[in-house]
Structure 1
Amino acid sequence: MAERAPVDAHSTLRNALKLGGSLLVTYVIGFGLQVLVPRVLGPDSFGQYNWANGTAAAFFILSALGLDVYIRKEVALRREHASEFLGGTLLLQGVLAVGLLGALLVMMRLEGTPPEVRALTLALGVYQFFFRLNAILAAVLHAHEKVDGLSLAHILMKCLWGFGLGLALLLRAPLPWLAVPFVAAELVKTGFLFHLTHRHAGLRLRMDVRATGAALMTALPFFINEAALATNGRVDVFVLGLVANTKEVGYYGAVWGIAGLTMLLSPILGWVLLPMLSRAAASSEEEFTRILRRGLEGIVSLSVPVTLALALGAETWVHLLIGEAYLPAAPVLRLLAPIFVLTYVATVCASWLMAANRTWTVTRTSVLAAGLNLGLNLVLIPPFLAWRGVTGGASATATSLALCEVVVTVILVSAIGSRAWDARSLAVLGKTLGACAAVTAAHLLMGRLGLDSSTLPRGLARLVVDGLLYVSLILLTGAVRKDEVLGLVRLVRNRRKPPASTEPPAAEARAA
């Protein structure tokens, strides 16, 4: 039996900080372009671009095979295992990609999609193949806790992508050219990641039919779960474009880009948390539960204030970031904002259940949510369009997604039961919600007293007051403890120094 790697919270946190640092750089570039693209293209052309991106991603859900999640769980315990199946799965993915591109082309011709949108969608399909392949290679490095080169790869890829897309926008290139930087950046990243996995993880691509089949069967629940999760974020865009129009897709996609700011930690959770929980489950039941509770507590503390700021300042953020042309979509941003707290909680709970070998619980929940989301979109979009007119379809899609996230979160938390929370985390949750209620009341009162969001300076001033009040309340009530914040700052500052103790401090436990 292979030797089990011990749970090293210091190493895990250092890896999270490295990945977080690289993600911060890439998010700055990505977010800058995410607000520039809708500004330059306008709602109509941006709607076509966003529909092409969402449709390509929806079709290529099938190409991931659930391997990245499987690798983080299994290769974290058996580090040589990746070489046994990746050669065979890579071949299968290539065959699937060709078939999916063909199916995508047939569908668009039957729907009468304009030629330039067809070309853009097919090119983005190629991008999706390499994007998902790179996620699998990155998972091998996460499982081996070798993330230094991976952090560099994120930055280089995003710089290449950002420069190319910015140049295409500057030159007012036709829509299909917007996909070229995506494909080029992922191709470069693929070559770099193959080098890193060979060097740091000893990865060798070889054909082993039995090992490949066994890996695919074990990864099946991960695959179904991942496909269902991706369906919630991609198929709704595809359906919105078909049932409503691409302009609605433009409004929805533009404010989704703003709301995506709150998902900065999502990749880190997926990359770091599941391997850490898998090792904890194999070595210490007490540690396994502790990571879950402190993870939920920390994620609520971090995500709630950002979500609150988005919801209260929806008009201000839309005006500031993507321009007045998208102001009708501000209510859609307000509907999307609470989703991300739920998504974070569900992600932590799902990782714990997977590490506890209850993967099918997560999978069934995700499949239920995917079916519910599709059905709600089909039912709600037509009446919302009649009721709200412009952005009615986008509002229906946001409402559908919010309802699905509520269902998913309730089911996953219930599946874990009392192990998910203790008195400390429930106290933090209560204090945080109380602070949110107080800030919301103050925000509405300022509007009644004349400090409204009719102009950008007034809206920003109102948000600054909201932020100061929130920080004051959480510190006064102890929802976030000052000693833990200072401890985390010291840990970040000294992250290159060896840990002085084998027992992780409370701040590190919260961050993990």
Structure 2
Amino acid sequence: MSTPIPDPSAAASPVVPQPASLDLTTSMRNAVKLGGSLMVTYGIALAVRLLLPRVLGPEAFGQFNWASEGFTAVFFVLAGLGLEVYIRKEVALRPDHASEFFGGTLLLQGLMAVVLLGVMQGLMHLEGKPGYLRLLVLLLGVYQLFYRCNGTLAAVLHAREQVDGLSVANIATKCVWGGGQLLVLLFRLPLPWLGVPILASEVVRAAVLYRLSRQHAGLQFRVDVRGTREALMGALPFFLNEAALAANGPMGIFLLGFLTNTTEVGWYGAGWNLAGMTLMAAPVLTWVLMPLLARAVAHSQEEFFRLTRRTLEAVTAFSLPLTLAMALGADTWVHLVYGDRFAPAATVLRLQAPILALTYVAIVCAAVLTAMGKGWWVTRTSVVSMVLNSTINLTLSRPFLAWFGPVGGACASALGLFVCEVVAVALLVWAVGRRAYDRQSVIRLIKTLIICGVVTGVHLALAGLGPTRLVVGAGLYIVLVLVTGAVRLDELQGLLRVIRRRGAPVQASAT
């Protein structure tokens, strides 16, 4: 593999390398803190997200999902400016740099939001969308602005490894979000009211995160043209990558709503809410991994790629069984959570489930390439996915709806996203190179895939047992991964010891 080209911005100021053991320990401690916060906030969010479809029904939920996860998300990806990844990569090495661009980029995001809201309202007027849906989009658009700004503030705290207050803020604001939505559902308020607690939670979070950023990271609001220009140029590949990624998720929902109907969006969103349960560790992985990789690559190439290999191995071992359980039990999960009205969503969920294991691998590879100074490669991969996914949605959504009836359009959208993730992971792994894996990781991956195949065969053979076969499959999977060595108990125990020791020095494994 060719030697990575050093990133010029990372070399702009001298870096004092931290000892590897201390760096790993700090990151592990932050992972535990953020993970604990995430579990609480995710539990609240999950309860609301799973309740919404059941209360609203496929049509109303489809309208809400299209407005929140599709239309506003696609437009406001432009307001992110790619700053979050840039901050985790650069501010981890240059703490004072955040104050050089924060004020200028915040003003720019505000101006962009005004323009975007005007364009969105104009398009909805031309399409003849009802007034209540336009009001919901307006509320969610303002929420998106605060959400992007909060992403910047949170990234500063992540980069400076000051996450205690952030963890508490995440829980408090998620309570505002979840409690408000539950009240809206309880009193059967009109659909636009669902946007009020969503916006209120981000406003509260913005106030808290700004105070924390000033207190713990020394963030100052000032407009520095030179610093703003440097940040925008440095974040450009990440910005383009985010814009391209919009086609792989929100754009699919956006097109699905325009090309078919909002009921199809309801099927798709219901399936994705369940499938997304397996992505609960993705935010922690992103928050912790990027600063850790940025320091590791500056400290030692050998250490950097050792960390890469073990991280890829860990996320694969974690995500594959969850993906398998989601796919095999699709009918059961949909029936238990949503009821019979959403039965067609089970077909969509089976197509969505494999995407999630691929997403974990893509997250790690993208972080590795970014740390290596190859952010543009990640951007090119996302652009390829964007073109491919949009083409599949535009080509197959209406034909699938005609051929397969209800849920056909949603299946086309899920299939498009799956194909894109396969292509993206292949390109990203190839870009990282052979040092991303070794004999141990390849053997364990092969063992895990074979075990997944065996469990699937047993599941199909025991069709007469109904949902009970899921318990049988789970037990069989656990036994097989332990017997074959696909997962090592001693390594899991070592990880637990690292977490329990917290502040004690931890030596990285040599394997």
TM-score by length of 2: 0.95
Aligned length: 495
> Which of the numbers 155, 169, 180 marks the counterpart of 2:171?
155
For 1:377-392, list aligned pairs within 5 A: 377-392=393-408
- 2:318 is aligned with 1:318: no
Residue 33 of structure 1 is matched in structure 2 by 48
In 2, Cα distance between equivalents of 1:368 and 1:444: 36
Residue 2 of structure 1 is matched in structure 2 by 14
Cα distance, 1:372 vs structure 2: 1.1
Residue 503 of structure 1 is matched in structure 2 by 507
In 1, Cα distance between equivalents of 2:307 and 2:298: 13
Cα distance, 1:502 vs structure 2: 4.3
In 1, Cα distance between equivalents of 2:17 and 2:207: 29
In 1, Cα distance between equivalents of 2:82 and 2:496: 36
- 2:468 is aligned with 1:464: no
Are the equivalent residues in 1 in contact too, given 2:67–2:137 (CA < 8 A)?
yes
For 1:338-349, list aligned pairs within 5 A: 338-349=354-365
Residue 157 of structure 2 is matched in structure 1 by 141
Kindly provide the amino acid, as one letter, of the partner of residue 44 in structure 1. E
Residue 189 of structure 2 is matched in structure 1 by 173
Kindly provide the amino acid, as one letter, of the partner of residue 86 in structure 1. F
Cα distance, 1:5 vs structure 2: 4.3
In 2, Cα distance between equivalents of 1:284 and 1:490: 25
For 1:82-161, list aligned pairs within 5 A: 82-161=98-177
> Structure 1 unaligned runs (5+)?
453-458
Residue 14 of structure 1 is matched in structure 2 by 29
- For structure 1, which segment, 7-16 or 402-411, has the greater mean C-alpha deviation from structure 2 after superposition? 7-16
Cα distance, 1:147 vs structure 2: 0.6
- For structure 1, which segment, 223-232 or 314-323, has the greater mean C-alpha deviation from structure 2 after superposition? 223-232
Kindly provide the amino acid, as one letter, of the partner of residue 356 in structure 2. F
Cα deviation 1:344-380 (Å, max 9, x = unaligned): 1111011100100011100011011111111110001
In 1, Cα distance between equivalents of 2:203 and 2:246: 22
Q: Percent identity?
A: 56
In 1, Cα distance between equivalents of 2:293 and 2:496: 24
> Structure 2 unaligned runs (5+)?
1-12
In 2, Cα distance between equivalents of 1:422 and 1:344: 18
In 2, Cα distance between equivalents of 1:117 and 1:177: 11
> Which of the numbers 245, 248, 252 marks the counterpart of 2:268?
252
In 2, Cα distance between equivalents of 1:489 and 1:420: 24
- 2:39 is aligned with 1:24: yes
> Which of the numbers 286, 290, 296 marks the counterpart of 2:302?
286
Residue 7 of structure 2 is matched in structure 1 by none
Cα distance, 1:231 vs structure 2: 2.6
Residue 419 of structure 1 is matched in structure 2 by 435
In 1, Cα distance between equivalents of 2:327 and 2:57: 23
In 1, Cα distance between equivalents of 2:130 and 2:400: 27
Cα distance, 1:2 vs structure 2: 3.3
In 2, Cα distance between equivalents of 1:232 and 1:149: 33
In 2, Cα distance between equivalents of 1:186 and 1:2: 36
Q: Are residues 495 and 193 of structure 1, via their aligned partners in 2, closer, same or farther at CA, if it must alter by over 3 Å?
A: farther
Cα deviation 1:209-265 (Å, max 9, x = unaligned): 111111101110010001111331101111001100000001101111000001111
TM-score by length of 1: 0.95
Are the equivalent residues in 1 in contact too, given 2:25–2:498 (CA < 8 A)?
no
Residue 491 of structure 1 is matched in structure 2 by 498
Residue 356 of structure 1 is matched in structure 2 by 372
Kindly provide the amino acid, as one letter, of the partner of residue 463 in structure 1. L
Runs of 4+ in structure 1 off by over 4 angstroms are: none
Are the equivalent residues in 1 in contact too, given 2:24–2:506 (CA < 8 A)?
no
Residue 217 of structure 2 is matched in structure 1 by 201
For 1:56-95, list aligned pairs within 5 A: 56-95=72-111
- 2:205 is aligned with 1:189: yes
Are the equivalent residues in 2 in contact too, given 1:33–1:162 (CA < 8 A)?
yes
SS in 1 for 2:344: helix
Are the equivalent residues in 1 in contact too, given 2:153–2:210 (CA < 8 A)?
yes
